[in-house]
């Protein structure tokens, strides 16, 4: 049996290798990776839910005003009823703005094969991109562009590394 099909323990170094092999850019910290995109970024980290899970949490870069919550919630509910993953989440930030997140996780308690790890990462990236595109179609104000957008992206990515 090829090595790529044998379950092996998962650590951050192995995740970095997989993300790199898939051709994606990332920023690394001691306990997570940040994968930047223009309108969102994905944090990859280990969580303890019901055992050890590799979690990929995408966060839209822009937020909506709290007054939009009644328009956003049905869109995210529809996404969640039509798809298995990533789960669309609505988060109210400290200042009352509405943040949109997308989350997928993979149980790695018993280890996973390289193929499984790479497929999970690639599938999550693909479905997050689809989710972001769906949300942007409905809420174009979440599209980040213009003066200061590059600085905002850099600030968010660096903040996520130390969060």
**Residue 131: is its pLDDT beyond 60?**
yes
Max Cα separation, the chain?
56
Distance CA 101, CA 98 (A): 10
pLDDT at 2: 60
DSSP state of 6: S
Relative orientation angle of helices 12-21 and 114-138, to the nearest 10 degrees: 70
Least confident of 16-30, 37-51, 63-77, 144-158: 144-158
pLDDT at 4 over 80: no
Please give the model's pTM, rounded to 2 decimal places. 0.93
């Amino acid at each position: 049996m090829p090595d790529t099909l044998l379950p092996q323990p998962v650590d951050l170094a192995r995740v970095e290798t997989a993300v790199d092999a898939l051709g994606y850019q990332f920023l690394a910290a001691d306990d997570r990776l940040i994968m930047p995109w223009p309108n969102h970024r994905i944090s990859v980290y280990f969580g303890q839910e019901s055992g050890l899970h590799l979690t990929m949490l995408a966060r839209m870069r822009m937020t909506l005003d709290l007054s939009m919550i009644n328009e956003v919630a049905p869109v995210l509910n529809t996404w969640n009823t039509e798809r298995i993953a990533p789960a669309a989440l609505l988060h109210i930030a400290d200042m009352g703005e509405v943040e949109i997140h997308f989350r997928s996780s993979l149980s790695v308690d018993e280890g996973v094969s390289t193929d499984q790890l790479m497929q999970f990462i690639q599938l999550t990236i693909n479905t997050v991109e689809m989710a972001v595109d769906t949300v942007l179609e409905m809420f174009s104000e979440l599209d980040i562009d213009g003066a200061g957008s590059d600085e905002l992206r850099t600030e968010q990515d660096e903040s996520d590394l130390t969060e």
